[in-house]
Amino acid sequence: MATKQYCLIVILFSLFIISCTEDDTEDSDNLQPEACFELANSEFKVDDELTFTNCSQNASKFVWDFGDGNSSTQRDPSHIFSQQGDYEVILLAGEDKNNDGVLNQLDNPDSISKIIKIDPNRTSIDLTIKDANSWTIENPELLLVVGADAKLYTSQSSIDSKTPDFVAKSDENGKAVFYDLENGNYYLSVEMGDSKSSKDGFLIYGVFQTQEDIDNSAPQDGAVIGGIKYTDVNGDGLISDDDKAQFRFITIPNDEPYVRNIIIGK
C-alpha cells in the first residue's frame, strides 16, 4: 500500500512539473518584443563610425534601416554616414514568426526610431557670391547675393544632362559652402534668376572700377567703367573667343578648402 501511495505522489509531482513547464513556455511565447537601441555619443560627423547598442528585449531577430539607403540585420551594428544631414534610424525587433527567413511587419515586430544628426567633417569649397550689377560709382562694393544656386558637376555627362552632382544655396552672408567632397576636379556654375557666373560665354571676373583698371586688365572689347570684366581663362593676356567657358574648372586640394569670390551678373 505504501508503494502505491509513493508511486501516486511521484506521478502527481511529475504532472505538476510538466504543467509548470508548459505554462512557463506559453508565458515566454506570449512575451512581446521591445525594441530599444542606444548610442554612446550625441554628436557625430561625416565618416565617424557609429556603433549602435541594441537593448531590445524578447527578440532574437533584428532589422536596421539607417535612413541613407543602407541596412543591417546584426544585433549591434556599426555604420558610417558619408554625407551630412538628419537621418531617421529605425530598428525592428522580434521573431521570424512565419518562418520565411525575413523579419518584417508580417511578424508583428516592435519598432523604434531616432533622428541622428550628422554634421560636416570638413569644408571642401567656400564661395562668397556677389552681384556685379549692384556696382555704382558711389557704392563700388558689390552686394552679397542671397539664395543663389552654386552647382557642381563631376563629368561632361552630368553637364550635358544638366544634372549637377552637388548643389549649395548661398545664405544671408552670400556663402555657398560644400562639405566633405572627394579631392579632385569639378566644374562650377552659379546662378540666380537671370544672373549667372558667365555672360556671353565668358566667365565673370569682376567689374571695371576705373579707367586705370581697364588699362591694366587684359584687353576686352567694349570695356567701360562699371562694365563686367571677363576672365582670361587661357592666360594669354587677351580676352577672345579662346577664353569662352560656361563653367569654372576648379580643383579641391588635399589639405585646405577651395575659397573664392564668385561674381554673377546679367
**How many Cβ atoms are within 10 Å of 59's Cβ, its own excluded?**
22
The reported pLDDT for the residue numbered 254 is 73
pTM exceeding the 0.75 threshold for the entire prediction: no
Distance CA 71, CA 79 (A): 9
Assign residue 147 a region: left if phi > 0, alpha if psi is -120 to 50, beta otherwise? left
Per-residue pLDDT of 128-179, as tens digits, reads 999 999 999 999 999 999 999 999 999 999 999 999 999 999 999 999 999 9
Residue 29: pLDDT band (50, 70, 90) is low
Q: Tens digits of per-residue pLDDT, 71-123?
A: 999 999 999 999 889 999 999 999 999 999 889 999 899 999 999 999 999 89
Confidence of residue 41 (pLDDT cuts 50, 70, 90): confident
So what CATH class is 37-119?
mainly beta
Backbone angles phi, psi at 227, to 5 degrees: -85, 165
- Domain 123-264 coded CATH 3.40.640.10: no
Name the pLDDT band for 230 (thresholds 50, 70, 90).
very high
Q: Over 47-68, what HEC string results? A: CCEEEEEECCECCCEEEEECCC
The set of cell numbers assigned to 48 is 565617424
SS3 223: coil
Residues of the chain with CATH 2.60.40.10: 37-119
Residues of the chain with CATH 2.60.40.1120: 123-264
CA distance 229 to 222: 10
